[in-house]
Structures are given as C-alpha cells and as structure tokens.
Amino acid sequence: MNWMSNRCVSIAILSRTRKDPAESRLIEAWAQDSDRSEANLRKNPEVSLRFLLGRPLVRAAIDRTDNELGQDYQILTDPNGKPFMQLPSGASGPSMSISQSGDMIVAAATMVGSVGVDIEYHRANRPFESFASYAFGPNETLAAGQSPQALYRIWGIREALS
C-alpha cells in the first residue's frame, strides 16, 4: 500500500498483485458492519473483496485528512454511485472518492473541496472504437481513436470531473 498525504488531501493506492497482510489489517481496523453487509451483496467474490477493501481504504484516507472524526460516520452512495460521508449529525464530512479496476484500488479524501480519482485497467481486447463512440462526443471519439492511452486519458478525466 502506498500513501500520498499533505494533511489537505490523502491518497492511498493498494495493488493486489500479491497477497499482502496489510489487506487483512486494513479490513480489521477500518471496515464497519455496513461495509461487510454491502460487500456481501456482490455476486462476484473478487468484486466483493475489492469493495470491502475500498471502503476501509477511504476511511483510512479520511483519518489521515482529519483524524478527529474517529469512525462514527457512515459512507453512503449517491444516485450516481459516488460515495459520500454522513456524520451522525446528518452533516456531510470530507469529500472522498474510490476507484477500483483490475488489481488496483485507489482512495482519496480531502477537507478542501471535491476530489475525484479514477483508474482503469487496460484490457487489450476491449472494443475501444465502439466504446469511445458510445461514451464520447465526436471530437473526443476522434482523439480516443488515436490510441488506447488516449481513450483512457479522456475517460479518466471525464470520470474524475463527474
């Protein structure tokens, strides 16, 4: 697990390419019963585990951003799927973002505005042209057709902004 933090923004990157004992410690220290329940709703065990790692990872990032909050809050999801914190008072907490793809999980938290992170695992067999024409406008589709890296760059920027 890698951390980048300056007390304003904290970013955690977890690579699951090898079995890491930090994963169990992360879940043990930061997962809540609601995280476990929601993870169990996923039919795919790997997706369930990535979810169960993502929530504690963002909780640890929140703690690095504002360690006075403790763990007495809920992480909920808005209608677009973006996680947000709700304090016991009903007020919102720090802005947060979680992204999972392939063997990577990234989480970020900040007290100074909005934050968005996005990662996407490169799959060589992905139909890039049809994907771009479905998701992008004509100019972005043209730019994304230049290379898979261009498609992922445009996709990542759009997702992080949303």
Q: What is the pLDDT of residues 97-153, one digit of tens each?
A: 999 988 899 999 998 888 888 887 777 777 777 778 888 888 888 888 888 888 888
The answer to whether 43 and 83 are in contact (CB under 8 A) is no
For the segment 1-19, the average pLDDT, to the nearest whole number, is 85
* pLDDT score of 136: 86
Residue 160 has pLDDT above 70, yes or no: no
As a whole number of Å, the end-to-end CA separation of the chain is 26
The answer to whether 38 and 59 are in contact (CB under 8 A) is no
The answer for residues whose C-beta is within 8 angstroms of residue 15's C-beta and 6 or more apart is 1, 2, 103, 104
Tens digit of each residue's pLDDT (9 = 90 or more) over 58-81 = 999 998 887 777 778 889 888 988
d(CA 39, CA 36): 5
Tally Cβ neighbours within 10 Å of residue 22: 11
Residue 156 has pLDDT above 80, yes or no: no
d(CA 6, CA 117): 17
3-class secondary structure per residue, 131-148: HHHHHCCHHHHHHHCCCH
Tens digit of each residue's pLDDT (9 = 90 or more) over 104-115 = 999 999 988 888
Number of residues that this document lists for the chain: 162
Name the more confident of 154 and 17: 154
